[in-house]
Structure 1
Amino acid sequence: MRITLTTPAIIFSTISLLLLAYTNRFLAIASLIRNLHDKKKEENKTTYIIESQINSLKKRIKLIRDMQFLAILSLFFCVFSMFLIFFDKILYGEILFVISLIFLMLSLIYSAIEINLSVIALNIQLSECVGEECERKNS
C-alpha cells in the first residue's frame, strides 16, 4: 500500500488534541502538587495519605512529561514523512510515518499507565473516607 501526502496529515489533529489533553493533565497535577504542598506546610506534619499522594504525583508528572515528549516526536516524524513524500521519497516517507505511529502508540500506552496511577491515587484518598466517617467529615 502506498501512502499519499494526506495520509500523515490525517493524524495531525489527533496528535494536537492529545497534546492539549496531556497539557491539561499536567496543569491539573501541578495544581494538586501545590495544594498538597500548602496543606503539608499548614499542618506541619506528613500523613500517610499526603505522602502517598505526593509519591503518586511525582510518578504521574514524569509519565506525563514522557507522554508529551513521545507525542511531540510522533508529530515531528509525521511532518518529516510528509516532507519526504512531497519530494517523492515515498519509501522513506512511509518508514518515518510508521515510526511516527509507533511513537504515538507508546504515548498512548504511557497515558494508560498514568490513568491507572490516577485511579490508584483516588482509591488511596477514598480509603481515608469510609462509610459514616466520610459523611461526618463532610458535614
Structure 2
Amino acid sequence: MNIDYTVVALMFPAIPLIMNVYSTRFHTLSALIRKIHDEYVFEKHTPPEWKDQLNNLNARISVLKYSIMFGAFGFLFNMVTVFALYLEELFVARIIFGSCCLSMMTSIIFFIREIQISTKALRLHISDMDEKFKE
C-alpha cells in the first residue's frame, strides 16, 4: 500500500469525533457517580442493588479509561505518521499508521464493551420495577 498525506488525513475527522463521544460518556458517567455518591452520603439512601451498581460503575470507569487511552494513542500515532511522511520515512510511516489503526480498533472494541456494561446497568436499574410488575 502506498501511504501519503491523504491516507493519514482520513483519520483526522474520525478521531476528534470519537474522542468527543468518549468525553460525553465520561462526563455522563461522572455525573451519575456524583449523584449516587451524594444520595449515599447526604441522604443515607442505599438502593437494594447498590453493590451491583458500584461493581458496574467501576467496570465502566475502567473500560472507558482504556477506550479514551487507545483513542489518544491513535491520535498520537496519526500525528507521528504525518511527521514520518514529512521526513520521507515511508516504511516508518506505514508501521506507525498501522499502529494508529490498531489503536483505534482497540479503542472501539473497548467502547463496545462499555456499551454492553451500560446496558446491563440500565437493566439492573429497572430490575426493581420488573419485580413489582411480576407480582
Q: Same fold (TM over 0.5)?
A: yes
* 1:85–1:93 Cα contact (<8 Å) kept: yes
Structure 1 segments, 4+ long, off by >2 Å, are 41-48
Match of 2:107 in 1: 107
User: Which amino acid counterpart does residue 63 of structure 2 have in structure 1?
Assistant: L
Identity %: 26
Match of 1:58 in 2: 58
Match of 1:11 in 2: 11
Please give the alpha-carbon distance, in whole angstroms, between the structure 2 residues aligned to 1:54 and 1:30.
13
How far the C-alpha of 1:51 sits from its partner, in A, is 2.2
Secondary structure of residue in 1 paired with 2:126? helix
Residues paired across the two proteins, number: 133
What's the TM-score, normalizing by structure 2? 0.91
What's the TM-score, normalizing by structure 1? 0.89
Structure 1: unaligned runs, 5 residues or longer: 135-139
Tell me how large the CA RMSD over aligned residues is: 1.5
Please give the alpha-carbon distance, in whole angstroms, between the structure 2 residues aligned to 1:72 and 1:95.
17
Match of 1:137 in 2: none
